[in-house]
A and B are shown apart, each in its own frame.
Chain A
Amino acid sequence: MHLGLDDDELVACVSCGLCLPHCPTFVITGSDTESPRGRIALMRAVQNEGAPVTEDLIRSMETCVQCRGCETACPSAVPFGHLMEGTRAALADAGRITPRWQRLALRMLRHRRLLLAGSTLLALAIRLRLVPTKRLGLPARMPLRRPRLRTSGDDVWLFTGCVMDAWQRDVHLAVQRVLEAAGAGVEPTGGVAPCCGALHIHAGLESETKAMARQVMAGLSGDDRPILVDAAGCGASLKDYGHLLGTDEARAFSDRVYDVHEWLAERLDELQSRRPVAPLKLTVAVQDPCHLRHVQRAHHAVPAVLLPFVAEVVALDDDGLCCGAGGAYSVMEPELSRAIRERKTAAVVRSGASVVASANPGCSLHLAAAGLEVRHPLELVDQALSASRS
């Protein structure tokens, strides 16, 4: 089976193994089948040597969290994320992964009203204890009503996305208040750009993702306002449109995308100059979402933005190893996902912090489900700002 992978990208791995300790699944199972190096060797076996696509080989691909921690560890800069996305696209096209029910569920993310209504129903079902939240890794409580999104100006877009807008709109509003405190007029994207397609590309639905990318780009065209993103996974996905679509227009679009912390780190003076702010009396551990650290490589901005607003910021000592959330991964691979999370929660406990700051909704839901107190970094900043306002 030809996986459609770029031959030059595929041969770029020399099997040195320096990726192994940075792969969340390898450190759990200790097996090469759950390692970046091994997965690449299997891709090669299939594409170049005609090896059969066995169920075990598919498992090896499906167990990948797509955290891309291997990419920052790789001295030869192997683009593992692209190879894995390409492999999954080929497997999905052949009907070997991502069954129909998953495709239907993912399709729903594009339909904002349906998603919002479905989320309200789910929230209701959770209140009525009709849903085993723990087993499904769902939050113990979800909002029944959402405060309205509002536009305060036209300096920047705030990308609101799909699930995060339905489940964590509070975070968007907190982020917006922080941006406004830094002097920016904010327009939330809302229905203009319903979903970035990150989960779709991870599931191998490439043509669908491309259609969604075009939809998002069309919705946000017409000006060159910066597009700020408060979800690391969405930010990474939007920044990859240039590669995904391969057009000048897409590349120009991707250049407008910033993680919100990345953008704020350049404007800390504006944020602090308005009035003195008393830092929250909290020791905060910063959890680096993989798609902020390994893909966008913008994770240093989070502690930089957080530092003036809390008593102490501590780094975790686990080399930025994934937490196991991985978008839909925590639902699809609950066993491995939880084993990976245990290492992260142990690192949090070692850090002595009382609160974890996570700049990605998937990670934050996943870690909160383990009983940790998790906040978006800018929720904490917003809290400090509003405390000094009152």
Chain B
Amino acid sequence: MSRTLVAATRRVLGSRRRGDRAAASPPAGAGDAALVADLVEAIGSDRVRADTASRYLASRDASIYREGNAGPVCYPGSTSDVVACVQVAARHGRAVSPRGAGTGLAGGAAPLGQPVVLAMTRMDKLLGVDLDNGVAWVQPGMVNLDLSRALAPHGVHYAPDPSSQAACTIGGNVANNSGGPHCLAYGVTSAHVVAVEVVLSDGSVVTLGDLTAEPAGYDLRGAFVGSEGMCGIATAVAVRLTRNPPAVRTMLLCFDDVSDAAATVSAIIAAGIVPAAIEMMDQRCVTAVEDFAQAGYPKDAAAVLLVEVDGPAGGVAIASEKVAGIARRNQAISVRTAADEDERARLWKGRKSAFGAVANVMPDYYLHDTVVPRTRLVEVLERIYEIVDRYDLIVLNVFHAGDGNLHPILAYDSRVPGTDERVHAAGREIIEMSLDMGGALTGEHGIGVEKREHMNRMFSAVDLDQQSRLRASFDPHCRMNPGKVLPSAHSCSDIGALRAADAAGVWG
């Protein structure tokens, strides 16, 4: 590892000497030698990388945003490492951007202005399980699914289960207030985070929230969850433990018509049933995932619903009978119940690999995350198909039907000239239409940089100013993950923290 660093330092130094472009504008990373040296001294050479390959890859997440530009990448192993990095960055007048697994879909982890990137992946331990209080303390780099696996021997789990749960980290979940299929019944991340240890921009360590049921004072924990890394770096998270339900039944309902599926969703909720999850996929999506998941989804159905009910065995039996009845009354062409855990796992594997499977259709995708009133689902879906047809694009619909959180995936090939423009125009129309229907900009993926400029459409100038002030009360110098969420006009102070990034990117 130290050899890597030596090579990296050489590269940084070497790139100074290279070519005339270097003379015109300093290549990315040049001039960082002192910063890198201080970071190495603070946390050790095996925890700092400043080479171009590392910085190039730390500049991006799973979104299509490609303008990120990372400075040195640090891999802290403890809260004190994080404190040290934040202090060194502050001394050098540099911002800090945290990063989990980089599975975010809105560019939230894409660093702007060459900040010091804190990759939290090595802080991935389960710190302790407190069954009496029903909480576990975990480090932010722990993978969501690893947490539930580690908790399994205690008969409990961590309820929020984003589709990317096999890879995404708890820290990223906290930053984005992530949801997931099972959040319909159990609530999103903020309902499952009891307290957070946070390193603030001045290097101080605070704990927001506590383990008591009614904490005194303002709910700063609530303000922090979903703040996309702009209020501080979470270094330990106390998560609520959820008892594993005694019985679970997972059903696959197939329909010839998308509107029948949507009507079924409304009817299930209207009947007073609260399933653990109700997910919908349209035909194109089913086709994309089935070959990988081998879940037995019918490729000829116009839409499928994945409905899961859980709780005491008696209640589960009654609820699932009711769901099946409602589906049949709404013209379901088939109703299948998973016979065993293996079949259930495959049904969920199909749903949770939907985004990743898009390349089976097209090599690129642009995803929206709007939330619309459930009663208008059919109308919204028809409008989405209409918009997409007009722009001659392909859409795959997969979404949390139970709470109206849409994920229209615009699949395209950016190699075809002019496609990017059409995709963005269609995306904008989908967002505006969703907002016009009384919806919200994002359900669970965050605003990041991708959805930033749409904030003006959703919030008034007063709203945005207040949000900016809330953020500044945590981070007065706007050094934590600057440039995200708030539209540029409302995040002026961020601009100071954003160094003029070299247009050539990390390769210099």
Contacts and interface: CB of A to CB of B under 8 A. Distances in A.
Q: Are A and B genuine complex partners?
A: yes
Interface in A150-198: none
A41 to B, nearest CB: 6
B174 interface: no
Contacts of B180: none
Nearest to A10: B363
B377 interface: no
B53 A57 contact: yes
A54 interface: yes
Best-surrounded residue of A13, A16, A21, A52 (most CB of chain B within 10 A): A16
B167 A74 contact: no
Interface string B276-307: 00000000000001011100000000000000
B168 interface: yes
Contacts of B358: 14, 76
B60 A16 contact: no
A48 B195 CA distance: 45
Nearest to A26: B121
B164 A16 contact: yes
B403 interface: no
A75 B4 contact: no
B85 interface: no
A52 B507 CA distance: 7
Interface in B1-58: 4, 7-8, 11, 49, 51-54, 56-58
Interface in B312-366: 353-360, 363-365
A11 to B, nearest CB: 4
A11, A14, A38, A77: most-surrounded residue (chain B CB, <10 A): A14
Contacts of B56: 41-42, 45, 51
Interface residues of B, number: 50
A119 to B, nearest CB: 32
A78 B75 contact: no
B359 A76 contact: yes
Interface in A27-61: 29-33, 35, 38, 41-42, 45, 51-52, 54-57, 59-60
Tell me which of A15, A51, A78 has the highest count of chain B C-beta atoms within 10 A of its own C-beta: A15
Contact of B166 (A14, A21, A52): A21
A75 B356 contact: yes
B275 interface: no
A51 B60 contact: no
A64 B209 CA distance: 42
B57 A42 contact: yes
Contact of A16 (B62, B75, B360): B62
A12 interface: yes
Interface in B108-135: 119, 121-122, 124
A55 B103 contact: no
A27 to B, nearest CB: 9
B121 A31 contact: yes
Given A56-B52, A76-B356, A21 B122 contact: no
Contacts of B395: none
Nearest to B51: A56
Contacts of A14: 62, 355-356, 358-359, 363-365
Interface residues of A, number: 36
Contact of B49 (A12, A19, A31): A31
A15 B356 CA distance: 8
A17 interface: yes
Nearest to A72: B292
Contacts of B354: 75
Contacts of B415: 7, 11
B53 A56 contact: yes
Interface string A312-336: 0000000000000000000000000
B119 to A, nearest CB: 6
B109 to A, nearest CB: 11
B86 interface: no
Among B7, B8, B52, B58, max chain A CB count under 10 A is at B52
A14 to B, nearest CB: 5
B198 interface: no
A18 B167 CA distance: 6
Interface of B: 4, 7-8, 11, 49, 51-54, 56-58, 60-62, 73, 75, 101-103, 119, 121-122, 124, 141, 143, 145-146, 164, 166-168, 289, 291-293, 353-360, 363-365, 413, 415, 507
29 contacts: A7-B415, A11-B363, A11-B364, A11-B415, A12-B359, A13-B359, A14-B358, A14-B363, A16-B167, A17-B164, A18-B166, A19-B167, A21-B145, A30-B75, A30-B122, A32-B58, A32-B102, A33-B53, A51-B52, A52-B52, A54-B11, A54-B53, A56-B52, A75-B354, A75-B357, A76-B292, A76-B357, A76-B360, A78-B359
Given A16-B164, A31-B49, A52-B52, 8 more contacts: A14-B363, A15-B61, A16-B355, A19-B167, A51-B507, A56-B8, A59-B53, A75-B289
Interface of A: 7-8, 11-21, 29-33, 35, 38, 41-42, 45, 51-52, 54-57, 59-60, 74-78
